[in-house]
């Protein structure tokens, strides 16, 4: 099963808002994966399971029972 990733983009408006947003994202498990002249791109692992993942797991269990 592939790991799921979540991405955030922080637009560089002014230094104060960027620093606060970066600090909050890092505390949430994100890391910087790229930058541009206007934005910082962050990547983190998703937390918890999606509803679709639960349904897929149930389908796989049904196949194993057959």
> How many structural domains compose the chain?
1
- Is the Cβ–Cβ distance between 19 and 59 less than 8 Å? no
The average pLDDT across 7-20 equals: 88
CA dist 20 and 13 (Å) reads: 12
Residues 19-58 have pLDDT tens digits of 899 999 999 999 999 999 999 999 999 876 555 544 444 5
Parent domain of 51: 5-65
Record the pTM. 0.60
- Is the Cβ–Cβ distance between 27 and 37 less than 8 Å? no
**Residue 66 CB: number of other CB atoms within 10 A?**
4
**pLDDT at residue 59 above 60?**
no
């Amino acid at each position: 099963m592939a790991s799921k990733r979540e991405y955030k983009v922080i637009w560089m408006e002014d230094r104060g808002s960027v620093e606060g947003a970066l600090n909050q994202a890092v505390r949430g498990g994100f890391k910087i994966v790229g930058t541009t002249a206007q934005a910082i791109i962050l990547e983190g692992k998703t937390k918890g399971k999606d509803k679709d993942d639960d349904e897929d797991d149930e389908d796989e269990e049904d196949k194993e029972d057959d």
